[in-house]
Structure 1
Amino acid sequence: MKILFDLLPVILFFAAYKVAGGNQAAAHDLASRWLGDGIELAQAPILLATLVAILATVGQIAWVWLRHRKVDTMLWVSLAIIVVFGGATLMFHNPTFIKWKPTALYWLFGGTLVVSELVFRRNLIRKMLEAQVRLPDVVWGRLNLAWATFFSAMGVLNLYVAFNFPEETWVNFKLFGGMGLMLVFVVAQGFYLSRHVQEETT
């Protein structure tokens, strides 16, 4: 359930885009009323989907705050990025900004892992997972580097799909491609880690 909750803004973005794309005239009328004049018919689905994603992220944080009185830093970061890039998309009626949003998030994650390791000597992957699994120090280092590389590559791949394929292909990739590649990476990582997990000594 948690993974569905975490993916809620992406899922709603995808759903809104598909519904609006299937009803372009109504979507254009709605977008013009909410977001101002000058919107082209073909722009309406991506603009409405962006608005939905922003509202969904705000609602997500509000729900977490009401339930736990605490919001993870990652959620605040996601909100800041969607507000900046999504807001620019809505303000300028230009989907280029929202297409850059996943890349900005991926590169921020990857950069944070690298900087934390090199500058502050803190392995963030280890910090998150060491309560569940014991690994040799060298493996923790490889794991941190693997995640940083994965996020960097995903950022590049997002831009490639966004600007070399039709918009609808990018929207599909944003949900299914991103989730699929993440799943493959996690499974492959699991196989690798299974060879290095240290048994608890009694």
Structure 2
Amino acid sequence: MKQFIDFLPLIIFFIVAKMDPREVSAFGQTFELGGIISATAVLIATSIIVYGLLWYKQKSLEKSQMITVVAVLLLGGMTVLFQDETFLKWKAPIVNWLFATAFLASRFIGQKTLIERMMDHAMTLPPPVWSKLNMSWVIFFALLGGANWFAAFMIPGDFWVDFKVFGNLGLTFAFVIIQMLFLGRYIKEDEAEKSP
């Protein structure tokens, strides 16, 4: 359910971005709905609503959610203000590169890598495996940021919108499946050690 909530603003963004621009009236005002700029305004509004409700319910947000909200507000706000989609195109590469940097920095800061801090409650792994796992996330986020940059700035048209929704989701899903296959043997060993 959490993953759906995180993707909800992005799904709504995609729907509005793909619509042909049209005028709609709401609250006594006329707005243009459809296209990248109005989709960005909708992305900002839905992000504020979704993450605001999550914060209200949980009294906090995860760091990744905070980074996403700040990036949406900052780069999305600049996109709407200057009527230039270039700012929003930078969101996915920057956010992914920030995640890569955070995972990499965790190797040198603190006692545990970031992936170990996130998952050590669920499994026990030898330190070299935690290190390899953490490094795989560094590489994944760095490459995903590069792929988003390439889709946004090197391929003409609005392919980047499709990639932002379906490419990111598909690549992340495939990467998590590979991680699960890699970790499968350690989970079995961990369960065998715990059994009497």
Report the TM-score, using the length of structure 1 for normalisation: 0.85
1:15 equivalent in alignment to 2:15: yes
How far 1:193 sits from its partner (Å)?
A: 1.2
Percent same amino acid at aligned positions?
Answer: 32
In the alignment, structure 1 residue 6 sits paired with structure 2 residue 3: no
> 1:69 maps to which residue?
59
Higher strand share: 2
The 8 Å contact of residues 97 and 142 in structure 2, kept in 1 or not, is answered as yes
Aligned to 1:186: 176
Match of 2:142 in 1: 152
User: Which residue matches 1:108?
Assistant: 98
Aligned to 2:23: 26
Q: Equivalents in 1 of 2:148, 2:37: separation in Å?
A: 19
Q: How far did 1:137 drift?
A: 1.0
Aligned CA RMSD, in angstroms, stands at: 2.1
Q: Distance in 1 between matches of 2:88 and 2:157?
A: 11
Q: Which amino acid aligns with 1:186?
A: V
Indicate conservation of the 8 Å contact 1:13/1:52, yes or no.
yes
The alpha-carbon deviation at position 56 of structure 1 amounts to 1.1
Pairs within 5 Å for 1:47-196: 47-196=37-186
Structure 1 position 78, deviation (Å):
1.2
Q: How many residues align?
A: 188
Offset at 1:26?
Answer: 3.3
- Structure 1: 5+ residue stretches without partners: 28-32, 36-43
Structure 2 stretches lacking a partner, 5+ long: 25-29
TM-score of the two chains, using structure 2 as the length reference: 0.87
Check the 8 A contact 1:139/1:196 in 2, yes or no: no
Offset, 1:25: 4.5
| Alpha-carbon offset, residue 116 of structure 1 | 1.8
- C-alpha separation in 1, matches of 2:72 and 2:37: 13
Question: Could you say what secondary structure the match of 2:90 adopts?
Answer: helix
Aligned amino acid, residue 26 of structure 1: E
Q: Find the residue that maps to 1:196 and give its secondary structure.
A: helix
Query: Which structure carries more helix by proportion?
Result: 1
Q: Which AA in structure 2 matches 1:112?
A: A
Q: Secondary structure at the match of 1:195?
A: helix
Shift, 1:124, TM fit: 1.1
